[in-house]
Amino acid sequence: MSRRSLLLALLHVPLILPFVLVFGHVFASHSWSALLEFERMAVLAGNTIILCSIICLFAFPVGIALAVLLFKTDLPGRRVLRSMLGIALCVPLPLFALAWQSFGGGGWRPWSQGLLPAAIIHALAALPWVVWLTGLALLRVPPELEDDARTSASAVNALWNVTLRQALPGIALAALWVVMQAAGEIAVTDLVVARTFAEEIYTQFVLGGPDGLGRAVVVALPGTLLSLLASGLILRRFSSWTTFASSARLTFIWSLGRYRWLAGTLVTLCIFAYMCVPLASLLRQTSGGDAGSLPRLFLELHRAAYLNASMLLDSLACALLAGLLCSAWALFSTLWASDSPRARTWLFVLVVALWAVPGPVLGFGLKESISLLMKVEDVLFGWTSFRPLADVLYFEPNPLPVLWAQIARLFPYAVAILWPAVRSIPRDLRESARVDGAPSWREFWSVVWPSVRGAFWTSTFAVSALAIGELAASKLVQIPGRTTFVQELFNQMHYGATATTASLALIQLLAPIALWGLIAWRWSRPRISLSPTPTSGPQHAS
């Protein structure tokens, strides 16, 4: 089977199968009634729009300001502060909800339910993404434009009219990511009892019945089509623009002058509060609350690690395997797409669709794909008891369905990281290797791999860190007896922020921190820089 056929089978089928079924004869008579309840649909649409608007209102002013300070100024300790926010990129959304719950005293209060608490939690989770996506966009601004603007205008005008204007693709990408993340997740809204379209999708499916999947997909259809259109237009508009800057690229650095240390102190305090207050709340809850003690803290952590060690190691191994397979798949797909305009269009559509489709809908598609595979297997081997696919995908406890869901959900991230590296490979070197008659494997190891290996390992660690907390799709295909660690944590969260739940959350945090350390190590390479300029003016640095 060719790469294209395999990719079509494993990524396209779960993506399009729910929408094919909803238009089929099985659901035709009942499913569309879900859209006819106009009043309820209007309430859900209004709640979703309000939720996303509040999130953007909270996250973007602060996130853009932090991105400018951390990526475009001589702020003291900016690399350490960026790394701290980088760790938060990999923290699963349920942990933000649990930290809020723990900060509120361990149980939900009336003031901790509804759209506002959900928006605050989502905004806290979205802030690192806004900072990093905007910051990487700021690094792509041509330094000569900023230098010319600074000589003819004030610093504020140059920053507003040139730097931020040139970084609009990254800001638009961050806005798209934040909105889609909030509109398609149920980890927070389920806990704070906030009704959104994502909640309704999951509720319709849980109600069951012969048309349960149809009702769920019909409810998801308007938002999915809108997300596809918006993401396609934005990404197509900036198709020649890449977010991920080269580590050797020169950038224009603004000098903060005499306010440098004051700004550094304020930003450090804010980021430490952002990171340490939820962590302190979890530590406090683990140790037993106000009357807790250090021995109680170590006892709870030891008990949680001892009782869930096998589940944690299994989830970590599955996430690492997902990161490796997803990155390898993305690498070969981008190599193939770089040689063919038609393949680039096909890969672009696939990535946008996988990114835009809500996690529960993709999970439903995976369930239906597994069911379809078992039906085909029954037809092919109906005269025997040989059912290998049914065993590994449905009956025997193993991580393959979860691995499939993680790869399908995170494939766009791997492509986004690897595509700039693949595009930077000198085309004449590849063509020279082909002219010399080098086989494909020799061309890959001698020409391609030296140019992309840094991006490949970054993609592997980043996807693995995100896979550890993936829940929206994988929770629907988990085989009983093979529960992931984040699923167990999510189940425990419904009982409140108890000491057991907080200890599980602290253990869950260790894996993203370790993986982000590997990413930071990969990025900590010597950078090209120009000779320093006086501190009274702007500087050029890497």
Positions in the chain whose pLDDT score sits under 50: 1, 25-29, 31-32, 34, 36, 106, 108, 110-111, 240-248, 526-542
Q: Write the CA distances from 184 to 60, 361, 379, integer angstroms.
A: 19, 9, 36
pLDDT of residue 324: 92
Integer Cα distance of 74 and 79 in angstroms: 10
- What is the pLDDT, as a whole number, of residue 289? 67
The pLDDT assigned to 19 comes to: 67
The predicted structure's pLDDT at residue 64 = 92
Dump the DSSP string for 79-137.
Answer: HHHHHHHHHHHTS-HHHHHHHHHHHTTSS--GGGSSHHHHHHHHHHHHHHHHHHHHHHH
Encoding tokens for residue 518?
């590997």
User: Looking at residue 451, what is its pLDDT?
Assistant: 82
Backbone angles phi, psi at 478, to 5 degrees: -65, 135
Residue given tokens 């595009």 in the structure block: 423
Q: How far is CA 150 from CA 144, 167, 249, 398, 415, in A?
A: 10, 17, 20, 59, 36
d(CA 170, CA 176): 10
What CATH number matches the domain at 1-17+296-523, 1.10.3720.10, 3.10.580.10, 3.90.1150.10, 2.60.120.920? Answer: 1.10.3720.10
Angle at 450 between CA 449 and CA 452, to 5 degrees: 60
CA–CA distances in Å: residue 34 to residues 44, 223, 255, 356, 542? 12, 14, 57, 21, 54
**pLDDT for the residue numbered 202:** 66
Q: Which amino acid is at 144?
A: E
Cα 387 to chain centroid distance, Å, stands at 35
How far is the C-alpha of 531 from the C-alpha of 79, rounded, in Å? 19
Cα 281-284-286 angle, rounded to 5 deg: 110
Residues 322 and 403: their CA atoms lie apart, in Å, by 6
User: For residue 217, what pLDDT is reported?
Assistant: 63
Q: Which residue has the tokens 């869930």?
A: 308
Output the six-digit token pair for 235.
């990404």
CA neighbor of 34 nearest in space, from 227, 187, 203: 203
Q: Report pLDDT for 532.
A: 38
Ranges of CATH 1.10.3720.10 domains, the chain? 1-17+296-523, 43-194
Alpha helices in 153-206 (DSSP H): 155-158, 164-166, 168-184, 189-192, 197-206
Q: Which CATH architecture has domain 43-194?
A: Orthogonal Bundle (1.10)
Give me the residues paired with residue 73 across strands: 254
